[in-house]
Amino acid sequence: MIIQLLGFVAIIVFVYFTGKTAKENGRNALLWTGACVGVGLALQFVIPVLVVIVITIALIATGTRPDQVESALGWWAFGLNVLFITLSLIGMFLILRHVAQLPEDQESGDVPPPPPMFDQDQ
C-alpha cells in the first residue's frame, strides 16, 4: 500500500531531522533518534499488527469462520492503518518539537545590560 510507504518515508525524514536538531541543540542525538524510530515503528507496524490479531481472535471467538475474517475486517484494517500512521506522525512531530527547544541549562537567563545613557550632564 502506498500509505504505508509514505509512513515509512516519514519515519526516515523525522529521524534525520530529529538527530540533526538534537545535535545542534546539544542534546543526546542517539537517544532522541532512537526514541523517534521507536515511536514511528511501534505506532506504524507493531501496535496495528497486535490490534488486528486481537480483533481476529475476537471475530473467530464470536463465530466468524477463519476464511471469512479478511472480508470481515474489510475497511476496518485500512482505517486502523491510517489511524496509527497519523498517531505516529503526531508522536514523531512532538519529539522533534521537544528536541528543537533549547535545554533549560543552555537558555540565556542573563538580563541584558541597560541601554547607554547619553547627555547625562543636563
Provide the strand spans (E) within 9-88: none
Cα separation of 98 and 90, whole Å?
Answer: 12
Q: How far is CA 59 from the centre of its chain?
A: 31
**pLDDT (tens digit per residue) in 38-95:** 999 999 999 999 999 999 999 999 998 988 988 888 888 889 999 999 999 999 999 9
Cα separation of 61 and 55, whole Å?
Answer: 10
CB 22 within 8 Å of CB 99: yes
Cα separation of 14 and 104, whole Å?
Answer: 23
CB 40 within 8 Å of CB 14: yes
**pLDDT at site 106:** 64
**pTM greater than 0.85:** no
**pLDDT at site 118:** 78
Cα separation of 43 and 108, whole Å?
Answer: 36
